[in-house]
Structures are given as C-alpha cells and as structure tokens.
A and B are shown apart, each in its own frame.
Chain A
C-alpha cells in the first residue's frame, strides 16, 4: 500500500457488534489500516461513553451511525452528536431519511440508502449530497454476506448510485460495516472488490483514503486553526 493511509469508516464494536474495540483495532492495524472510526448505531449505544484504547501507529476516531425514521428528529440527533463525533453517519433506507441526510451539511456519510425498488439516490439527492459534501457509503458487509438474488439487487443499486455519484461529483466512502472482526477486510482486498464492482482504481483509493482524510480534516481542525479559512501553519518569532 506504500505510504497511502487507509481508513475504515464504519466499524461496530460491542454492544452493537460482537467484538471489543481492542480486538477490532488490533486486527485492523495488522491488515494495514491507519485507523478506523467506531460507529455504533445510535439505538445501541453503551450506557456510558467508551474510552477508546490507544494503539501505537493506529488511530481510532469517535463516530456514530444515526438510526432515526423521523427527519426532524434526525436533524435533532445530528445537532446533538455532531460536536463529539469525528465521523457522523446516517443509516438511510427511506426516501425521507435519505433526503434529510443529504440536505444536512453536518452529516458526513449516508449509508445503506437503498429501499424497496430504488437504489435510494436520484439526481435531486445526488446534487444535494454534492452541494452539502455528504458522502455516499459503500458498505461491504451486506455484499459479502449475501449471495444470489439478494447480492444481485445490492450490486445493481451500488452501480446505479455509482453512476449518479460520477455524474454529480458525489464523494464515496468504502467501508467494511464490520459487526465483528471477521467482517474486516484489508484495504487491498476492499480495492479488489471495488474494482470488480466497477470502480476505477483511483476512485476506490479516493474512497478509502482521500475522502476519509477530508472528512477528518473538516471535523478535526488542526491546532493552528483560527477560523474557517485562516490557519497558523508555522509560528515564527518576529523580533
């Protein structure tokens, strides 16, 4: 992978998933990730805020995946969790929720947009997503765990969304959506899968590295940040 830093921006640990953050992190680091975002579903959060373990050479980001059917309540939740989350994901799945997610600039990623007979994204939503810099998440777990008709449906939706994303310049994020450590896949494996599913190599690399880094830069201003657009890059003593 060279020096490219890859991030998995959708990982679920206990109590949402099966494994602890430590287990997931040690395997992800072994797989060559520079870091991942712990994004438990908002309806399965632990009682108290988990203390994120620190591993050498591996970063764990605070994230959350919001599950809410009601758009106005969703906007409320976004406001509530935005301050403490590096990565804010909305679990889509209905027209109203998808629309609310892509129209809210505070949202980072929209996951699982597809529902019934639609891929979940149309030209209106794609344009809104591009304007508000909301990325569309491509999750591997459902694709790997299904076979036959269900996987065909999922892939058709993925390709439809990919076409729209290309046309309207919507950002994409590749992630494992791991519920256990056995759902993690190394960056190289994700790239191979993405390429097989029709992404160009550069698009896949962007979705695994560049876009996550951009999301982090947006939500974690550097220490020298003064205000939007103004940053102290290097401090020099003027006599």
Chain B
C-alpha cells in the first residue's frame, strides 16, 4: 500500500517519561496499564482519539506517542496510572516534543539522571 503523504499524516506529540515503580516492570505490562488507564479515565472513544502508543521503554524511561491535540488528556491518563502489574507506580512526564529525535535528545540523554532512594532512608 502506498504511504500516506506527510501532509496527510496525523500530527503527533512525543512525551518523554520516567516511571517509578516498586520493582522494575517490562514494556508489555506498562502498555497494558497505559491503555487500560486511558480507557477507564477517558472512555474508549476519547482514548482512541488520543492515539496513544508506547514507543519505547527501557530502564524506567521511555517515549509515548499521542495526538498533538490531545496532550492534556494523554497526560491525565498517564497520571491516572497507580499500579503496573500490581506494583505501585507513578509516571512522570519529563517533557513533550514534536519529534522522537528531539524528545530523546532533550529529555532522555542527560547524564544527570535522578536516582530516588525510595527504599533506604537517606540522612
């Protein structure tokens, strides 16, 4: 099938995010939870308009794609995640960008990563 012309493709936004969970979770578990949360919070109709896809997820960080006009709704759906695979979790959107490249460069490649010490009590 012929590719859609760039001008006809739907416009997207890419959300770089960080997931804090009790134990590491894999991409499949996160995908299931993101979609179930969006469907529960927004309803199936609005959730489909958001066009949410988890593009990549590795070591607690990743990128989620959504429709450019539904960033707020997508953010809300992501914020509504409380558990992934029955483990408590919270998702934090690092930033929003119009291209995957920019989102990765700007939000995922910084060396000053944050390692919250959630288990041990620090002084």
Q: B residues within 8 Å of A by Cβ? A: 20-22, 40-42, 72-73, 75-76, 78-80, 82, 88-93, 114, 116-118, 121-123
Contacts and interface: CB of A to CB of B under 8 A. Distances in A.
Contacts of A42: none
B contact patch SS: mixed
A159 to B, nearest CB: 15
5 contacts: A26-B116, A184-B90, A185-B79, A189-B75, A189-B76
Contacts of A189: 75-76, 78-79, 91-93
Interface string A182-223: 111110111011011000000000000000000000000000
Contact-size category for A: 20 to 34
A22 interface: yes
A contact patch SS: helix
Interface in A128-175: 144-145, 147-148, 151
A30 interface: yes
A181 B90 contact: yes
B118 A183 contact: no
B90 A182 contact: yes
Nearest to A32: B92
A151 B82 CA distance: 14
Contacts of A104: none
A84 interface: no
A133 to B, nearest CB: 29
